[in-house]
Amino acid sequence: MLESQNFLVFIVDIPGGENDSSNLAKFVCKHKGGAVDISGSAWRILNSSWIFLGNVFGGKVNPREEAVIILQQVLDNKRSLTQVFNTHFQGKEVRSQSLIKEMCYGVLRFYSKLDAIANRLLAKKLKKKDEDIHFLILLGLYQLLEMRVADYAVVKETVNVTLLLKKAWAKDLVNAVLRNFQRKKETLLKDIQQEAVAYYAHPAWMLCVFSEDWPQDWVSIVENNNIKPPLTIRVNLKKVTREVYLAELIEKGWEARPHAWMSSAILILSNVEVMQLPGFAEGKVSVQDASAQFAGTLLELSPHQRVLDMCAAPGGKTMHLLEQEDSIALFAIDQDASRLLRVEENLKRANLQATLICADASKQETWWDKRYFDRVLLDGPCTATGVIRRHPDIKWLRQQEDVEKIVTLQRQLLHTAWTVLKEGGILIYCTCSILKCENVDQIREFLSSHQDAEEIKIDAVGGVEVSIGKQILPSFENDGFYYVKLRKKRSDLF
Question: What's the pLDDT at 111?
Answer: 98
Query: pLDDT band for position 89 (50/70/90)?
Result: confident
DSSP 322-359: HHH-TTSEEEEEES-HHHHHHHHHHHHHTT---EEEES
Q: At what angle do helices 131-146 and 151-164 cross, to 10 degrees?
A: 160
Q: What is the pLDDT of residues 26-54, one digit of tens each?
A: 333 333 333 333 333 333 332 322 223 33
Sign of CA dihedral 108, 114, 116, 120: negative
Q: Which of 29, 382, 432, 437 is catalytic?
A: 432
Q: Give the tens place of pLDDT for each residue, 380-424.
A: 999 999 999 999 999 999 999 999 999 999 999 999 999 999 999
Half-sphere exposure of 170 (CA within 13 A, CB side): 24
Q: In angstroms, rounded to a whole number, what is the distance separating the alpha carbons of residues 57 and 11?
A: 11
Whole-number pLDDT of residue 462 = 84
Please tell me the distance from the alpha carbon of residue 312 to that of residue 161, in angstroms, as a whole number: 41
Torsion-angle region of 259 (φ positive above 0: left; ψ -120 to 50: alpha; else: beta): beta
Residues in the chain, overall count = 494
User: Pairing between strand 355-358 and 329-334?
Assistant: parallel
Label residue 62 by pLDDT band (50, 70, 90): very high
Give the DSSP letter of residue 397.
Answer: H
Please check the confidence at residue 24 and state whether its pLDDT lies above 60: no
DSSP annotation of 237 reads T
Q: Going from the N-terminus, what domains does the chain have, and what CATH number goes with each?
A: 2-59 (no CATH), 63-200 (1.10.940.10), 231-287 (3.30.70.1170), 297-493 (3.40.50.150)
What region, left, alpha or beta, does residue 370 occupy, with left being phi > 0 and alpha being psi -120 to 50 degrees? left
What whole-number distance in Å separates Cα of residue 253 and Cα of residue 222? Answer: 32
Percent of the chain with pLDDT over 90: 82
Q: Are 40 and 69 in contact (CB under 8 A)?
A: no
C-alpha torsion angle, residues 269, 435, 413, 406 (rounded to 10):
-100
Distances, alpha carbon 133 to alpha carbons 80, 120, 160, 170, in Å: 21, 16, 12, 7
* Interval 111-161: pLDDT, tens: 999 999 999 999 999 999 999 999 999 999 999 999 999 999 999 999 999
Confidence bin at 315 (pLDDT 50/70/90): very high
Cα(328)–Cα(104) distance, integer angstroms? 41
Instruction: Please give the torsion angle defined by the CA atoms of residues 255, 256, 257 and 258, in that order, rounded to the nearest 10 degrees.
Output: 180
What pLDDT does 90 receive?
81
CA separation for the pair 326, 264 (Å, rounded):
17
Predicted local confidence at residue 38, as pLDDT: 36
Confidence check: pLDDT of 203 > 60: yes
Question: For the whole model, what pTM was predicted?
Answer: 0.85
- DSSP states of 25-81: EEEEEE-SS--EE--TTB-EE-STTEE---BSGGG---HHHHHHHHHHHHHTT---H
Query: Would you state the pLDDT for residue 127?
Result: 94
CA distances in angstroms from 116 to 107, 198, 221, 384, 468, listed in the order given = 12, 6, 22, 25, 40
Q: Which helix (H) or strand (E) holds 486?
A: strand 481-488
End-to-end CA distance of the chain: 82
> Residue 465, Cβ neighbours under 10 Å: how many?
9
CA of 256: how far to CAs of 21, 230, 248, in Å? 44, 9, 10
Give the closest residue to 482 by CA, choosing from 445, 447, 436. 436
Peptide bond before residue 314 is cis, with ω within 30 degrees of 0: yes
Distance of CA 152 to the CA centre of its chain: 32
Q: Is 29 a catalytic site residue?
A: no
For residues 183 and 47, the model is more confident at: 183
**DSSP strands (E only) in 259-410:** 265-268, 285-287, 306-310, 329-334, 355-358, 373-379
